[in-house]
Structure 1
Amino acid sequence: MPFPAVHPALDRALANKGYAEPTPVQAAVLEGLGEQDLLVSAQTGSGKTVAFGLAAAGSLLGEAETFGPADAPLALAIAPTRELALQVAQELSWLYAEAGAKITTCVGGMDARKEARALNFGVHIVVGTPGRLKDHIERDNLDLSALKVLVLDEADEMLDMGFREDLEFILEQSPPERRTLLFSATIAREIATLAKRYQRDAVRIDATDKSRPHGDIEYRALRIAPNEIEHATVNTLRWFEAGRAMVFCSTRDSVRHLQASLLERGFASVSLSGEMGQRERTDALQALRDGRARVCVATDVAARGLDLPDLGLVIHAELPVNRAALLHRSGRTGRAGKKGVSVLMVPHSRRRKAERLLAEAGVEAVWQGAPTFDQIRKADEDRLVAPEFFEAEVTDEDMILAKRLIAERTPEEIAAALVRLRRADLPAPEELSDPGADRQPQRRERVRSEGGDELAPTPWPGERLQPDEVTWFRMDIGRNRNADPKWLIPLICRVGGIAKPQIGAIRTFPEETRFEIAKSHEKAFRDAVAASNEEVKITPSEAPTPGSFKRARREDGEGARPFVKKPPFKRAEGEGGEARPAFKKKPYQPRAEGAPRPAGDKPFSHAGAKKPFKPKPGFKEGGFKKTGFKGKRPS
């Protein structure tokens, strides 16, 4: 359906911008248009900014064609991040351009004095972040006495970021008769509590389609080895060849490291994190918008509220912490009716968490291995011979040069040069190993040698690898250095560049540890161990046999001799070759009453068991003498 008439100035702005039909959230807001408060839940990227801009028009303009002279602000829009606030201000600027609205922003990282001067000169609409708005109110730069409409955009994110106190302060400083429009992706308990406290008879609008959650986003989960996240990210970017892509990491250090790795491999990439200044963030976003950069590596907080054009791919290099983070990350793509792909990198040890996140979010993902080297090369060849590659318009100058090439070179030489130039612009894909699907863990059991000595505390419950599928290795760490599978497995994975599923049984001995490695990864493991600088020495080995590693006893500091059980103790023979009689303890025989005591047997006296008591000075019979040590016996 077309946009209904809201206000002449806004209707012209929508027509000039090419808005023909409203989105579901815009249609829902316009359908119940009035002077009530609104509590709206809608997915990220559904056109909420235009929706609340249209909803506020009646309260701000009324029957007037344009705004009057600018003074104290009539509308205040609060957003969680600087980027989102600037985007909201940009959207409202063209929407209210023909109405003569004067709009200013108050966001962190910008010149606060410049913002204060703009507020003092008078504005109609203010867009800002909670912290900076609170600061201007406390400094008497922002007067909310004339406020008619207050908008909370992405309210759930603001609460997650810890802005509750700032929001409550701003709401309490505004007039109680204002309209409050609250927009949120989800209406959690905290949002409902906030709405109940600061809204009056709010109209509840749910613009989310629960029967088809995120229908424009395709979810994929890639099984990868824990040490191949960077390589899998490179191959995923190469496989999809999206116009713009965003890669999410959990920490600033991870963002910095991954972005440097992508730059080294030839990707035009930028990064966004909390440690960057506003100028750096602005330059990075501008590079993405004008096409100088194709990949953005960011943290969750830094990327909130971003609206990048043609963002077709989102990669979760590190899994999000919860369901909301997954939806907010993925919501950067699949916006405004466009299709997008959300890819989760799932190491073997994080499979359960990934499944739980997807189940809580109500989405289904396709599980598969990461794109391999051969698959990417095949995709490159298909793109090179695709009809779209040859359907571009050719200028006369290009045709003249093409005819010259045909005259001077053979078709094979021209095609080879084309392939070479094409591949030179593409980063090389990486070699990856597919950890495979889930397997059944081994049953824990005790392993003992023939002599009863325990070979290992227990086999590690990893992959059930058959004897003909493994190769044995040894490392010079044993029980003498507290060897334990809990830290041996991460060590083996780090040194050998493999994943836990490729490790079989582990046997710990007094001086060494032997372990199984899948034959499919034997060569890669040998090469990684040879190139490693770790102090642990890992070499090929034979399978341990029962009884071959019984406990040893040190004879000196250099060698060891096998444990030999000593024969039973025998008394040395006396002089003359005759054995001395063994000592026999006499049985107890009680002494008859009145019989004489044997010689040397002294009577036991209780009186002599302790020293006689000698009172010290100050001791008083029947109590303690009053001294400086109250309640204590003086020493």
Structure 2
Amino acid sequence: MPFPVTSPSLTRALAQRGYADPTAVQSAVLAPETEGRDLLVSAQTGSGKTVAFGLALASTVLGESETMPATHAPLVLVIAPTRELALQVHAELTWLYEFTRARILSCVGGMDPRREARMLAAGCHFVVGTPGRLKDHIERGNLRLDELEAVVLDEADEMLDLGFREELEFILSEAPQSRRTLLFSATIAREIAALARTYQQNALRIDTVAANQPHADIEYRAIRVLAHEQEAALVNILRAQDSRALVFCATRDTVRTLHANLTARGFTAVALSGDLSQVERNAALSALRESRAQVCIATDVAARGLDLPDLDLVIHADLPTNKATFLHRSGRTGRAGRKGVSVLLVPPQRRRRAEMLLREANAEAIWLTPPTPDEIHAKDEERLLTHPLLHETPDATKLALAAKLLERTNPELIAAAFVKLAQANLPAPAEITVLPPESTRPARAPHTTKADRAMVGHGSWFRVALGRKQNADPRWLVPLICKAGGITKQEIGAIRIFDRETKFEIAHEAAYAFANAAAAQSEARIEPAAPPGAARPHFDGKPKPGLPKKTPGKPRFAKPDGKLNEQQRRRRNKAGHA
């Protein structure tokens, strides 16, 4: 189905970019009933929204003309939540309106506001910016909205999440009432609907995705990993996948640490966090887009609105805090019809949280363990055997040089040199604990309490050398056990405190991972133990090897000649045996 576009200029731009068929959201906003109306659109990230509203605005700002009319004040204002998204929208509209002679400016934080003011004074047709910077230019008189014909709010839900309601309301109140307002959002939540009722007129609502529908182009995977081996698991996933990846972390500190560690291991990695300047952020994104970097480690805020073409892999190094964040992160891949993979790293203590996220997002995940070094080496071998250079037709110069090499060198040595060169920059895989398959781990009986598990023997027992002598108390023992073994308190059963040690029960399904994690930490020595009250080995009366025989009837502290010592004599006299 061709694009329903009447402007030859836009048709030419689409053809030059290879756009043949519209996406679902593009078809929806270009339907005849949308002509000239306000639109409230929900669509997945990566569905072609920028081209959609760019084409939808053509009838408003172009009309029957092939070129944009002369104007001093802007005709279209596009508001985006982040600098990266605003710059991406600017780039998309620039090529789409290339043959219309439209002037398109960006106004975003981190750039020189004086330069932006000079460009606004020179006149333009489109302004794309972030709420804070746009409000600043309006208040300073740099940005006039009196000739505005349309306003677009791109990813409005994220703008509200980031706290830009006040700025949005200010900008929209300054715009002419006769304008068109196009509002795009991943979900139409209550706040978005209220914003639409206030600032739109008889808006047509368009839903291009069914409610609770997971992204069809994304495969979800949940990787079971020990808590202290999450970085090792990340390394092996990156090595096994061998594609550009976006890794999400919860904090800036984690981004910095992980970026440094991955770089030290040999990965070409860049970082994105809120403490970077715009120049540094642009450099990082350019490196990733131009394939000079393989991995981008980012916080949620830094990656909002991020559009990275050909991104195949998203990894949640830290679990998302909610469903919206999970869907937003995952939506950075699987864009524009491409397939993508979203991977959750799930330590045992976060298993239930991960399952809840997947359930809320209505996403079916495949539960796996991290790739092992042997599996990665096998993939390396497979990739080497299908290396593109082996299937290219060399020119005459290269063939002549190859012939000289064969005359002087053994073919096996040449092949070995090729293998060495091809794998020279591959980071080494990390050694990792192989967890048992899920099917071999007995499930916990439903609706059982800690006491129930203790009584029916559903747990495995461990000991720690902390008891009453060390003021052992469950209030601080439970957090210590959870931290040492990477589990939650729900997986701890009975606790028995003795004078010099404490024995505690761990649910069977968590015991294997707990034992490995506890053995790797150094805060408290934890080891497997027999259950409290277990019968001791039967003593058959025979002397143990290496121990002296006891003489029957002989006093315990008798001297070698059989005479009692002074202490024994006093005890016997006191007992009436003198």
Does TM-score exceed 0.5, indicating one fold? yes
Aligned to 1:509: 498
Whole-angstrom CA distance in 2 between matches of 1:460 and 1:424: 57
1:386-535 equivalent positions in 2, closer than 5 A:
386=386, 390-436=390-436, 437=438, 439-441=442-444, 464-465=459-460, 474-476=464-466, 478=468, 480-484=470-474, 485-493=477-485, 507-513=496-502, 528=520, 532=522, 534=523
Q: Aligned-pair distance for 1:521?
A: 7.8
Structure 1 distance, partners of 2:158, 2:130, is 12
Question: Taking structure 1 as reference, are residues 195 and 503 closer, same or farther at Cα in structure 2, changes over 3 Å only?
Answer: closer
CA shift, 1:134, in A, is 0.8
Distance 1:182 1:263 in 2: 41
Output the CA distance in 1 between the equivalents of 2:471 and 2:514.
26
Partner of 1:317: 317
Change in Cα spacing, 1:305 to 1:426, as seen in structure 2 (3 Å) is same
Q: What residue is the counterpart of 2:569 in the other structure?
A: none
Task: Tell me the amino acid that sits aligned with residue 510 of structure 1.
Answer: D
Query: What aligned pairs does 1:166-245 form with structure 2 within 5 A after superposition?
Result: 166-208=167-209, 213-242=214-243, 244-245=244-245
Question: Judging changes above 3 Å, is the alpha-carbon distance between structure 1 residues 527 and 359 closer, same or farther for their aligned structure 2 residues?
Answer: closer
8 Å contact kept, 2:40–2:205: yes
How has the CA–CA distance of structure 1 residues 387 and 131 changed in structure 2, closer, same or farther, with 3 Å as cutoff?
closer
Contact between 1:315 and 1:344, CA under 8 Å: does it hold in 2? yes
The letter of the residue matching 1:480 is Q
> How many equivalent residue pairs?
525
2:342 corresponds to: 342
Shift of 1:190: 1.0
Gaps of 5+ in 2: 537-578
Looking at structure 2, the residues matched to 214 and 294 of structure 1 have their Cα atoms a distance apart, in angstroms, of 24
**CA distance 1:380–1:245, shift in 2 (3 Å):** same
- Once the two structures are superposed, residues 235-285 of structure 1 have per-residue CA deviations (whole angstroms, 9 ceiling, x without a partner) of 11111111x110011111111111111111111000101111111101101
1:83, distance to aligned residue in structure 2 (A): 0.6
Match of 2:564 in 1: none
Determine the structure 1 residue equivalent to 2:540.
none
Change (3 A) 1:153 1:211: closer
Q: Give a deviation string over 1:125-182, Cα, whole Å, max 9, x none.
A: 1100001111111111111111100000001111111111111111111111100011
2:140 corresponding residue in structure 1: 139
The secondary structure found in structure 2 opposite 1:303 is coil
Which one has the bigger helix percentage?
2
Check conservation: 2:5, 2:55, Cα contact below 8 A.
no
CA distance in 1, matches of 2:276, 2:531: 55
Q: After TM superposition, give the deviation of residue 291 of structure 1 in Å.
A: 1.3
Question: In the TM superposition, what whole-angstrom CA distance separates every residue of 1:466-524 from its partner, at most 9, and x where no partner exists?
Answer: xxxx8x66435656333434122135338xxx999999976432333356899978996
Identity of aligned residues (%): 55
Give the AA of the match of 2:148: L
Residue 29 (1) aligns with residue 29 (2): yes
Q: Mind listing any 5+ residue stretches in structure 1 that lack a counterpart?
A: 448-457, 550-635
Tell me by how many angstroms 1:224 deviates: 1.0
* CA apart distance, 1:47: 0.7
Report the Cα distance in structure 1 between the residues aligned to 2:408 and 2:520, rounded to whole angstroms: 48
Q: Distance in 2 between matches of 1:58 and 1:267?
A: 48
Tell which deviates more after alignment, 379-388 or 16-25: 379-388
- Letter of the 1:486 counterpart: V
Structure 1 residues 227-376: aligned runs within 5 Å: 227-242=228-243, 244-376=244-376
1:206 CA displacement = 1.5
Letter aligned with residue 300 of structure 2:
D
The separation in 1 between residues aligned to 2:532 and 2:36, in whole angstroms, is: 84
In terms of Rg, which structure is larger? 1
Q: Is 2:212–2:361's contact at 8 Å kept on the other side of the alignment?
A: no
Kindly provide the amino acid, as one letter, of the partner of residue 207 in structure 2.
D
Cα distance, 1:473–1:88 mapped onto 2, change above 3 Å? same
Distance 1:8 1:363, change over 3 A: same
- Label 1:278 to 1:439 Cα distance change in 2 as closer, same or farther (>3 A): farther
- 1:397 offset after TM fit, Å? 3.9
Q: By how many angstroms is 1:63 displaced?
A: 2.6
2-side partners of 1:232 and 1:461: how far apart?
Answer: 35
In structure 2, C-alpha distance between the alignment counterparts of 1:539 and 1:349, rounded to whole Å:
18
Deviations 1:60-90 (A, max 9, x none): 1223332233311111000000010011111
**Where does residue 570 of structure 1 map in the other structure?**
none
Given that residues 463 and 501 in structure 2 are in contact (C-alpha distance below 8 angstroms), is that contact kept between their aligned partners in structure 1? Answer: no
Letter in 1 for 2:123: G
Mean alpha-carbon deviation: is it higher for 424-433 or for 137-146? 424-433
Give the partner amino acid of 1:492.
Answer: A
Contact 2:485 2:515 (C-alpha < 8 Å) held by counterparts: no
Alignment match, 2:545: none
Determine if contact 2:372/2:432 at 8 Å carries over to the other structure.
yes
Please, what is the CA RMSD of the aligned residues? 3.2
Q: What does residue 565 of structure 1 align with? A: none
Cα distance per residue 1:219-246 (max 9 Å; x no partner): 111111111111111111111111x110
Give the TM-score taking structure 1 as reference length: 0.76
Structure with higher RCO (Cα < 8 A, 6+ apart): 2
The answer to whether the 8 A contact 1:348-1:500 is kept is no
Which amino acid in 2 is paired with 1:45? G
